Structure 1
Amino acid sequence: MSAHTIRMRPRTRPGRQRGVISTFIAIIVLLITLMAAVALMRSVDTSSSIAGRLGFKQQVTQEAELAYQDAVSGAAAYLGPAGEADKADIGYYATPQAADTRGIPTTLIAKAAGKQLKAPNTADDIRYTIERLCPNAGPALTVAPNACLVPAATINGGSTTGNQGGFGSGAQAAYRLTVRVEGPKNAVSYVQTIMR
């Protein structure tokens, strides 16, 4: 009898192939987890930023109230005949000043004008201007050439009711108060109101 030698091929180990596939799947899962973590961090940062801005807006409103109270307490310096000319040292102007598209005086935006206050509990910079809503300096009138915006005036038949020839002892023009508050990280906010 003849002896045949049979050569057998070595078997490949299936465990080695499974290890490569498992490593590849683990890397994919790790990358997906990493992207989810980055998205979560961005979401938290955005939420913190929004909360900080809302807090600053609330603080600005309260500090604008300080400017309003200061403007009202110093009203004798610009009401009536005293307000017929500009008084830049107290942030008062007898006519509306040059403004941007939002109606904010450009000198206030540049911090070149306005009365400055300091908030009692913060380091925020508060500045404000008061503008008399009359087209020209001088006596305020309800008719041309210096027809002012008058508070609580009503229009009946093309004329304003009340004093037709000019302001009497009780009448006055309307005033626009614009407040600029600069807070932390150079955040700037403006508040504007009409006073009478």
Structure 2
Amino acid sequence: MVRPSVETNVILDAAARLIAEQGFGSVRMDAIAARAAVAKGVLYLRFADKNALLRAVVDREIVLAIRRSIELVEADRHGGSFSRLYVHAVTALHSRPALLRLYQEPSTPLRDLPQDSESVRARELLGAEFIRALQAEGVVAADLDADVLAANLTLWNQALATQALAIGVDELILGMGTLLARAADTGTTDTNAGKRAFVAFAEALIAEREQR
């Protein structure tokens, strides 16, 4: 049954499922309309073109991943340590299959997305700016170079998201968390400062995305 109108989130849900199944390059507007059970023209009433729709999907998927990471951090007694913040943020990313497609497709019409710019990347969760904020709170070892640490984590995260691995993703994420606990955590027993910094940073990123 085709619905003449539907909430935009229903369209974005349909598009996200198709992206997860087929990839960004293969998704067609008529397929999204069929999955959402709306006329194709409804999509063009909401979005200027397919790229605009796909950008909206990516923005929403990022917001959902960030919100999930906040939930995981707040539920973890030691969630404010850098190693646990890392585990929860990357686990949340891997809970959004459509978002992982950005890493898995070498060529996608969305490579010009604003979040790929250096200015926005600097504000990413677990980015250098955030690591320096945690160092100021005594959560991350002060002698570590925040830019180098962020760059290494970015490379590792991209490799994890891109490759089909024989061993489970969860085990690899926890393994990296263990390495970070030894290399970056300060050993403080009260990690509430880290939690507060993470939530503030995450909510700022959500607000930025939702204002697009």
Task: Compute the TM-score of the two structures, normalised by the length of structure 2.
Answer: 0.23
Q: Which has the higher helix share?
A: 2
Structure possessing the higher relative contact order (Cα contacts under 8 Å, 6 or more residues apart)? 2
TM-score (norm 1): 0.25
